[in-house]
Amino acid sequence: RMKLDSPEVLSNFEAHRVHLRALAYRMTGSLADAEDVLQEAFVRWANQSTGVIEKPRAYLSTLVTRLCLDHLSSARVRRESYVGPWLPEPILDEQSVGVEAKAELASDITVALLLALERLSPLERAAFLLHDVFDCDYDEVARTIERSEQACRQLVARARQGVRERRPRYHPNDEQISQILGAFAQATLGNLEPLSQVLAEDAVFYSDGGGKVASATRPILGRERIVKFVQGVLRKFPLDGSQVITPARVNGLPGFVIHRGKQVIRTVAFDVEAGLVQNVYQVNNPEKLTHLAWPVPTPPASGVH
């Protein structure tokens, strides 16, 4: 019999929700899909006899990982027909997908890392996340994805190589961030010179509209093209008085949010190398912004760090 309304079942699940959401978001690149996975995991959890599960966290992690692997096989098909560049759903509240693990990558939810994960096979992604981000032993990874320990070691080694090649290592200081955000703010007012000064010569601009709103359907390569693109967009779609640009951390990166009241219209995040913007990640697809509210909720003092 369904025990969805049992306080014990609910509290046991809720105790691990942040951890499970963190895992599912990194697996799927989508907070909406992560929540769907968690909902399905909760239903399955509620149908189990909780008394026989000695390690609820390990059990739930396995369940969520396997549900994500199922999801990724169907997501591949949808992704192939996606209009324009695909970017992960932006996160403004980093604590909502926090990880307690001490691993080097644990707090990393940058777009570059999520795109690097996206290029891995689903099994590589699962093995890498469980071992390198969530501190699981290889025997636990092997049980979770139903492969041998040796196979898991190989999966993680391959994944590490792919992630290492694409993950940024540079962290801009406050002065550089302020200069970059100021340059983009100036651009919205029609002054494009500061923008060209903060962009790397080989910078890339990714715009994810998903075919729902006007966006560049291919990445824009190079400083000059990006400046011309921004100029053209602002000419066609000038910001009106109802839209507010506010600096924000987007997936742990410097950036800003354009919002109308509480509704987020667009997020922009910057990958910075040696003080210059290397990549611009702009999400316009309204379906990827519905989970966001502005201002970002203030976490409780006892939140996960």
Q: What local confidence, expressed as pLDDT, does residue 240 receive?
A: 80
Residues in the chain predicted with pLDDT less than 50, given as ranges, are 1-2, 301-305
Tell me the per-residue pLDDT of 19-37, one tens digit each, with 9 for 90 and over: 999 999 999 999 989 999 9
CA angle 196, 170, 248 (to 5 degrees): 65
Q: What local confidence, expressed as pLDDT, does residue 77 receive?
A: 63
Strand pairing of 263-273 and 253-260? antiparallel
DSSP-assigned letters across all residues of 234-282: HHHS---TT-EEEEEEETTEEEEEEEETTEEEEEEEEEEETTEEEEEEE
Joined together, the tokens standing for residue 134 give: 């969530």
pTM: predicted TM-score of the whole model, two decimal places: 0.85
Q: How many CB atoms lie within 10 A of CB 162?
A: 17
Q: What local confidence, expressed as pLDDT, does residue 4 receive?
A: 53
Strand pairing of 244-250 and 220-221? unpaired
